Structure 1
Amino acid sequence: MADATRTTATAEPPATTDPAQDAVPVRRPALSPSRASDFKQCPLLYRFRAVDRLPEVPTKAQVRGTLVHSVLERLFALPREQRLPERAKELLEPVWTELASDCPEWTDLFEGDDDGEVESWLRSAGELVDAYFGLEDPRRLEPEACELHVETELSSGVLLRGYIDRLDVAPTGEIRVVDYKTGAAPRQIGEAKAMFQMKFYAVVLWRLRGVVPRQLKLMYLTDGQALAYTPDEAELVRFERTLEAIWQAILKAGRTGDFRPNPSKLCGWCSHQARCPSFGGTPPEYPGWPEPDPGEESVLDRAD
């Protein structure tokens, strides 16, 4: 997307006598769809991820999702006529090599696996790519952007920030937001979280462009299904208020350190049970509200 369609709401860095520090801008705390969803799901999970920033070991499925997202992004960088299933699957191994180079710790997931197991994992990624081609023909599309960073500030002062898998803009100006899903969370819970994420992007784009997205499209590659939804302005106004309320609740918890656990079916996917009081654990000492920015999403967040 061109710079004219983005809003940058970065705070001015505090005065300092260190030139090296002057060179690094301090970004304001922001709300991302993943972190907002974390707080809704479990305030303590939000704290572990956004405040304590505790490391999490990804699963092979999460890394596979990142790989598939990266392959689809590269696919749309190719000329239309080359956007074929065979060409997309040819990208799997070189893209995985690049990802492993950037995040060498991900290769530890395959320690002890033989070549056949790694090849089977890559084939499973290829099956997700095949499922994508069963849902649409990329040769007929020309997205405005893939893996698009968006950021805007609401009139209330809440800063929203996130990454959109794909943005399609019709010649008539209608906007479609597309998100690829490769995860295996329970479908009902997963769809609720995914739609929350999509409405978040819809609010950001509406505030950036003054246009309510015509369609929010979720593409479930595990089962080859798609879900499309059309929001309206009144709904986005209500959702914007929801985001503002979530941010105020986060700030209140941040001031007091009172991030309480909220046990649910999703606890089985949590990496922090050993530190959670609901499972007999003890959280680390509260470090205080973080600066400069607790809102950033990782590539694993974006891959879902």
Structure 2
Amino acid sequence: MRCPLLYRFRVIDRLPEKPSEAATRGTLVHAVLERLFDAPAAERTAPRARALVPRQWDRLLETRPELGELFADDPEGERLAQWLGEAEGLVERWFALEDPTSLEPAERELSVEAELDSGLRLRGVIDRVDVAPTGEVRIVDYKTGRAPRPEYADEAWFQMVFYALVVRRLKGVLPRRLQLVYLGSGDVITYDPVEADLRRVERRLLALWEAIRRATETGDWRPRKTRLCGWCDHQALCPEFRGTPPVYPLLAGGAGA
């Protein structure tokens, strides 16, 4: 949806991408908020959450040592300390938006998978699922950036209704509420979906998959220039920046379907 050529580079060519400080900070903050619920409710405090930040960073480095490259040119550790402090600030802001002592999530970092009638298989990872005593389901997603302006919010809501569609298929329950928690700006945005929303997203997914199928067969993956291009690792290979993509591996017989 964001850029067909970027999809090709990531999914088909599998070109490497450098880790970014922003994305890695998001991964770290998500890990802290997940782990905080391991503690009893009364112990889910802001100081405890802040203390989890450096420990979760060490764990992250154990599983993904390549992330250490982010601070390879920081021998004194000053940039790392500032970066960790920013992560701590995002974690602490969460306490002004939600009260973890009153929450008992049914699921955290839940991997979900469901199949549509068409045979299209959907997969995703939901940050948090809350279930009320009455059985109503709330899907919560943490964002470490700022809340977008309404005209740029479509991608985030598409993701959330996608999750609702998968949960509906798996559990037979329409989630009562979708909730986006923007830690960067301190906003909590909610939406109560209806069945028509799920049907619209399902139609959109089928159309998207059909476009992917056609592009996979033809090799016609066109770039889509947006304000996010400035953060792309593949500008040197992108026609929008006078680059030339590598030979398409599927047409060259270099990869399987």
TM-score, normalised via structure 1 length:
0.80
1:81 aligned residue: 42
Matches within 5 A, 1:231-270: 231-270=193-232
- Check conservation: 2:44, 2:101, Cα contact below 8 A: yes
1:101 aligned residue: 62
Instruction: Provide the aligned length of Structure 1 versus Structure 2.
Output: 253
Q: CA deviation at 1:136?
A: 0.7
Query: How far apart, CA to CA, are the structure 2 residues paired with 1:170 and 1:186?
Result: 29
1:56 aligned residue: 17
1:145 aligned residue: 107
Q: CA deviation at 1:287?
A: 1.4
- 1:157-201: CA deviations, max 9, x gaps? 110000000011111111101000013696456522111110110
- Check conservation: 2:110, 2:127, Cα contact below 8 A: yes
- Check conservation: 1:67, 1:125, Cα contact below 8 A: yes
- Check conservation: 1:131, 1:223, Cα contact below 8 A: no
- Select between 157-166 and 73-82 the one with higher mean Cα deviation: 73-82
Query: How far apart, CA to CA, are the structure 2 residues paired with 1:158 and 1:65?
Result: 29
- Select between 154-163 and 55-64 the one with higher mean Cα deviation: 55-64
CA distance 1:190–1:167, change in 2 (3 Å):
farther
Residue 274 of structure 1 aligns with an amino acid whose one-letter code is A
2:28 aligned residue: 67
Query: How far apart, CA to CA, are the structure 2 residues paired with 1:189 and 1:73?
Result: 30
Query: How far apart, CA to CA, are the structure 1 residues paired with 2:98 and 2:169?
Result: 29
Report 1 or 2 for greater relative contact order, CA contacts < 8 Å, sequence distance ≥ 6.
Answer: 1
Percent of pairs with identical residues: 55
1:127 aligned residue: 89
Matches within 5 A, 1:154-193: 154-183=116-145, 187-188=149-150, 191-193=153-155
Q: CA deviation at 1:236?
A: 0.8
Query: Which of these residues, 216, 220, 238, is aligned with residue 276 of structure 1?
Result: 238
Q: CA deviation at 1:117?
A: 2.2
- Structure 2: runs of 5 or more not aligned: none
Taking only aligned residues, the RMSD between alpha carbons, in angstroms, comes to 1.6
Query: How far apart, CA to CA, are the structure 1 residues paired with 2:120 and 2:207?
Result: 10
Query: How far apart, CA to CA, are the structure 1 residues paired with 2:47 and 2:81?
Result: 16
Residue 178 of structure 1 aligns with an amino acid whose one-letter code is V
TM-score, normalised via structure 2 length:
0.94
